[in-house]
Amino acid sequence: MERGRQTELEQRLKQLEGLVTELRKQLHEESLRRQTVEEQDRERVQFIALLAHELRTPLTPVLASARLLVEQFHPEAGSPQDRLISSVIRGAEALEARLSDMLDVAQIQAGAFLLEKTLINPAAVLKDIALQFLPLAESKRQALNLNLPQRLPLVKADRRRIAQVLMNLLENAVKFTPEGGNIGLKASIRERKLVIEVHNSGAAFSAEEKQRLFQPYHKVDRQKLPGSGLGLFLCRRLIESHSGRIWVESEAGKGNTFGFTLPLEDSVSQHQEGKS
């Protein structure tokens, strides 16, 4: 009887040893697969960064030369020469912006992305960006409304990156809002957070579109509008790197609102509004 039990235990031990061996083998194979994927990711990021850099190098003199042509020859507004040079400049600037997005994505994915945080005046940033987009909105007969409280606290953030987020959201608002529509830029304080919202009166996003808006290389297939599909992905990563949150609210007949938060630190929130 004892011998039968011993034999049974030995068999079970052998089965367990076999299972452990198989698990170790699977873990080793999974580790090798993970290493391969990580290496492929690193190579892909390096390739994107190299490609963007190599393309920007010859683009810089093209853009500078086109601008120099305008300064030297002063083509008459609306003339064939003016339209051609303007087309070259717009195309070069659009390509430069997309290459910058690619470089930012490569840096983020490589973990080499750094922020330069200082105390900034969010009201000044919002007003500055709104003024930059006012002519573009007016060209489409769109109303650009700025809604700011009398006082906003200083915020510790990377001014250039927050401006980049705002410009991207406003560019999308102008792009997706029909002629004669409304665009709103609003700031408020909620639960010790600065909340910034960009509203547009364009067509509402579907539930599927909302889920994919902040994914890299996703483009909303609406009127075949241009874009790299990286803008909102970069916005999300930039805001998250500031310990904030970004979202979109969409309702048929009311348009879309993109919002994001920036945390207010105790020492910062006690300051009065000052210079950025």
First to last CA, the chain: 87
pLDDT one-digit tens code per residue, 127-181: 999 998 888 888 899 999 999 998 899 999 999 999 999 999 998 899 889 999 9
pTM (predicted TM-score): 0.68
- For residues 240 and 232, is the Cβ–Cβ distance under 8 A? no
Which one-letter DSSP state was computed for residue 223? Answer: T
CB burial readout 20-38, b (16+ within 10 A) else e? eeeeeeeeeeeeeeeeeee
pLDDT < 70 stretches in the chain: 1-4, 40-41, 45, 112, 217-229, 266-276
What pLDDT does residue 13 have? 80
How far, in Å, CA of 235 to CA of 92, rounded? Answer: 23
Which residues does 243 contact at the CB level (< 8 Å), separation at least 6? 263
